[in-house]
Amino acid sequence: MKKQQIKEKTRAELLSLAAKLEVSGRHKMNRESLIAHIAKASKKTERNKKGKTRTKIKAISKPRKTRAKTVKKVSARGPVPEPTQPADNSIEKHWQEEVEQAKFQLFSALRGSEALFPQELPREYGETRIVVMVRDPYWAYAYWEIGPKKIDELREKIGGNLNKTQTILRVYDITGIAFDGFNAHLFFDIEITGMMTNWYINLGTPDRTYCVDIGLKTPQGDFYLLARSNPVTTPRAGMSDVIDEAWEGTPEEFQHVYALSAGRGGAGSLEFQEMIAERLQEQITSPGITGIGSEGMPHQKKQRAFWFTLHAELIVYGATEPDANVYVQGRQLRLRPDGTFSVRFALPDGTHVIPVTAESSDGVEMRSVIPTISRSTERHEPKIKR
């Protein structure tokens, strides 16, 4: 290998090449010394290869004549000479010492390693998309990114009213349908601040399929779509309302099961039915089971179509000097011309701390207000009027 080719390699490549050429002490060398030793070792390796090739050719062209060796008798009195140790043992011992020393040496990071392995992920990727993930039967988590190209497209459609629009999350219930953007069972809107990039959504009803649009809403009520999320289905909040008919049985079968479970007192049919019904009512909180008839396990009543959901939001508003800087939870707000501002938050159950800081335009004075809000919601079982 030519020396110019060696100089073009990085330090990591030089160290790898030096390891192949068995250059000792390579980790302690600077770049120039490492290049010189690699070039020297490379030339030596090439010379050894050429010498071996010539020896092989010579051995093939002129085969040596073998003669019968005469065995010399060794005197019993003379000591038997011990075989000499090859010189390779000393070389191997030297390499072992090099490896042991290198285990405890600290070396500076390679140049350019920070560029090859970035410490943090980028905050933005320049794409326009929104992703929704299910958290539990009642809640979902959404995060999004809006690229500058999409904003420019909407600016051409909306015109000068872009600054007057409100960012909206529109949540659709699309259970059991092929959603085309207009045929949802129902939808509701969540107003968010323009600087937010994620949101927890209280869906309200479990065991449903949802889809979320993010867009801009004008003061006239027109909605301009920015991105549409993936559909998600929330799990049910309780036990299944489907009773498989394959597991139904006759009263005789139930009596047999009862007898095997230590009920060998010979309970009558009516007594047995009342006992099983009582145990089922204790274990199952659903109001669908009322008793056991002659056909065995009953079917649960069909679920009613009536539903009800409730959401709560928090509005934080205030005012200061029009040229001041206001931060809510560490993010800067855009003030109105008169210095007023307002922020709207979703308000799930729990305790929420919302620090708000105002800083004067000259940076001399700073004032902070930290409201703490708690919410607790009670959910009662539905009541059926008979």
Domain residue ranges in the chain: 1-54+107-120, 125-237, 242-302, 312-386
The correct answer on CATH 3.20.20.150 for the domain covering 125-237 is: no
Nearest residue to 309 via CA among 137, 129, 85, 96? 137
Q: What is the pLDDT of residue 140?
A: 94
Band (pLDDT 50/70/90 cuts) for residue 278 is low
Of the ranges 137-141, 236-240, 263-267, the best mean pLDDT one: 137-141
Measured between its terminal Cα atoms, the distance across the chain in Å is 95
Summarised one tens digit per residue, pLDDT across range 331-365 is: 888 898 888 888 887 788 888 888 899 999 998 99
Of the ranges 13-17, 28-32, 39-43, 298-302, the best mean pLDDT one: 39-43
Q: What is the pLDDT of residue 345?
A: 78
For domain 312-386, the CATH architecture is Sandwich (2.60)
Q: What is the mean pLDDT of residues 181-191?
A: 90
In this structure, the dihedral spanned by the alpha carbons of residues 102, 107, 113 and 114, taken in order and rounded to 10 degrees, is 140
Q: Which two tokens stand for residue 206?
A: 């479990």
Measured CA to CA, the distance from residue 332 to residue 193 in angstroms comes to: 11
SS3 content of the chain, % helix, strand, coil (to 5): 30, 25, 50
Is a pLDDT exceeding 70 seen at residue 111? no
User: Per-residue b/e over 159-183, b at no fewer than 16 CB within 10 Å?
Assistant: eeeeeebebbbbbbbbbeeebeeee
Answer positive or negative: Cα dihedral of 194, 200, 205, 209.
positive
Q: What is the pLDDT of residue 173?
A: 93
Q: Is 117 exposed, middle or buried (0-12, 13-18, 19+ CB in 10 A)?
A: exposed
Measured CA to CA, the distance from residue 32 to residue 29 in angstroms comes to: 8
Q: Residues 150, 157: contact at Cβ < 8 Å? A: no
Nearest residue to 308 via CA among 192, 205, 216? 205
Summarised one tens digit per residue, pLDDT across range 25-43 is: 777 777 788 788 888 888 8
Measured CA to CA, the distance from residue 100 to residue 119 in angstroms comes to: 31
Tell how strand 350-353 and strand 372-375 pair up: antiparallel
Band (pLDDT 50/70/90 cuts) for residue 115 is low
Measured CA to CA, the distance from residue 329 to residue 342 in angstroms comes to: 13
Fold: same for 125-237 and 312-386 = yes
Q: Distance of CA 282 to CAs 285, 288, 303, 321, 353, Å?
A: 7, 13, 21, 63, 41
CB atoms under 10 Å from CB of 38, counted, come to 24
Summarised one tens digit per residue, pLDDT across range 60-81 is: 555 555 555 554 554 445 555 5
